[in-house]
Amino acid sequence: MVSLVTGASGLLGYSLANLLAKQNEPVRAMIRKVSDKDQFDSSSIETVIGDLTNPASLKAAVKGVDVVYHCAATSTDWTDWDTYYNGNVNGVKSLLDAVIAESKSIRFVHVSTTDVYGFPEHVVSEEAPMVDVGLPYNKTKIMAEKLVQQAYMEHGLPTTVIRPATIYGPRSADFIVEIHEQLKAGMMPLISGGRSSPGLIYVDNVSNAMILAAKSDKTVGKAYNLRDESVQSWEEYTCALADAFELPPPKLRLPFSFAFPFAWSMEKLHALLKLKTKPLLTRHAVYLLSRDASFPIDRAKQDFGFKSEVSFESGIEQSVRWFREVYEPQRELKSSRGW
């Protein structure tokens, strides 16, 4: 079976494309023009230039494929609405249209997020409704899921939705690189004592789950929460990273009652002044750092035998090794060349 992986130069897409190749599956990795074509570990991975905003490129990308793993998305916690909408809504619609036009039998695995539940105070199962809390990422990912559901209901496209909580690992800009920088600066905040769980899942564990889900008939038309089987708090995660990076543990502690209105004020100020830089704190970040994301994964275990192949300790070790051996040398090289 030929698999198309969108967003193949990103955190999850890169992991998934390489894992498929290691399993001797034909892989077509969709990347943008600005991406490096020689970045993949396996020479057996075919690269194709594609853009979610260019329907013609998507038509070519899906031609002759059996499975589409849609990993590409706008997942930052701070950018303009059009970027979110074009990446997470228009892009999904264009890709679904291209897939349906090619063949309604193509397996379509869509990467969503547990953020669609609206950051509830208590964890919920997949049967819980999606809740729009007014944040653009949360809102557009809900809209995207509805498009996927529509493709299944109206066209019979065999779709599966994967809802990971917090993905970390090599190539993670948000949960490895940014946290390293905040720890180094002494600015990594722990909100509400850092007691809540981020619902961590190592990137290779997500990739493995997606492959298993795509091969199971039980998953068609369903959505699945995903996190690793072991549960850590934000304090445990950031302290583990601090220890591995040989940095002081986080000391900045903020109550939710202060952090959320402060983030709201920062966002309003940046919007008013039309600042392009990211605020010191966003409402999205406050929700992530304060709400329990250890959502139940019983359905994933039951329907396609999900389990965490990579442990938390190994995940931290591999992430830090990537940071030191790959990310830092590349950053220093770019800096020396004035990029």
Q: Does residue 264 belong to any structural domain of this protein?
A: no
Q: Does residue 326 belong to any structural domain of this protein?
A: no
Percent of the chain residues past pLDDT 70, beyond the cut: 96
Q: Does residue 304 belong to any structural domain of this protein?
A: yes
Return the closest-CA partner of residue 145 out of 159, 134, 158. Answer: 159
The domain that holds 80 is classified in CATH as: 3.40.50.720
Confirm if 191 and 286 have CB atoms less than 8 A apart: yes
Using 50, 70 and 90 to split pLDDT, how confident is the model at 33?
confident
Q: Does residue 256 belong to any structural domain of this protein?
A: no
Gyration radius (Cα) of the chain, Å: 19
Q: Phi first, then psi: give them for residue 27, nearest 5 degrees.
A: -125, 135
Q: Does residue 94 belong to any structural domain of this protein?
A: yes
**Mean pLDDT, range 18-38, rounded to an integer:** 87
Does residue 337 have a pLDDT over 80? no
Angle subtended at Cα 271 by Cα 265 and Cα 274, rounded to the nearest 5 degrees: 135
For 273-320, the pLDDT digits (tens) are 989 899 999 999 999 999 999 999 999 999 999 999 999 999 999 999
Q: Residue 336's pLDDT is what?
A: 60
Does residue 265 have a pLDDT over 60? yes
Does residue 338 have a pLDDT over 60? no
| Predicted TM-score of the model (pTM) | 0.96
Angle subtended at Cα 293 by Cα 288 and Cα 294, rounded to the nearest 5 degrees: 155
Q: Where are the beta strands (DSSP E) in 90-203?
A: 107-111, 159-164, 166-168, 189-191, 200-202
Angle subtended at Cα 162 by Cα 59 and Cα 56, rounded to the nearest 5 degrees: 10
Q: Does residue 192 belong to any structural domain of this protein?
A: no
Q: Residue 104's pLDDT is what?
A: 97
Q: How far is CA 38 from CA 61, 141, 332, in A?
A: 18, 30, 20
For 192-218, the pLDDT digits (tens) are 999 999 999 999 999 999 999 999 999
Q: Does residue 319 belong to any structural domain of this protein?
A: no
Q: Which domain holds residue 25?
A: 3-172+197-233+293-309
Domain count, the chain: 1
Other C-beta atoms closer than 10 Å to the C-beta of 87 total 22
Return the closest-CA partner of residue 115 out of 66, 76, 173. Answer: 76
Return the closest-CA partner of residue 254 out of 169, 189, 315. Answer: 189
Residues 90, 173: Cα–Cα separation, whole Å: 24
Which residues on neighbouring strands pair with residue 162, listed in sequence order?
A: 111, 224
Percent of the chain residues past pLDDT 90, beyond the cut: 92
Residues 246, 21: Cα–Cα separation, whole Å: 35
For 113-167, the pLDDT digits (tens) are 999 999 999 999 999 999 999 999 999 999 999 999 999 999 999 999 999 999 9
Q: Does residue 321 belong to any structural domain of this protein?
A: no
For 45-64, the pLDDT digits (tens) are 999 999 999 999 999 999 99
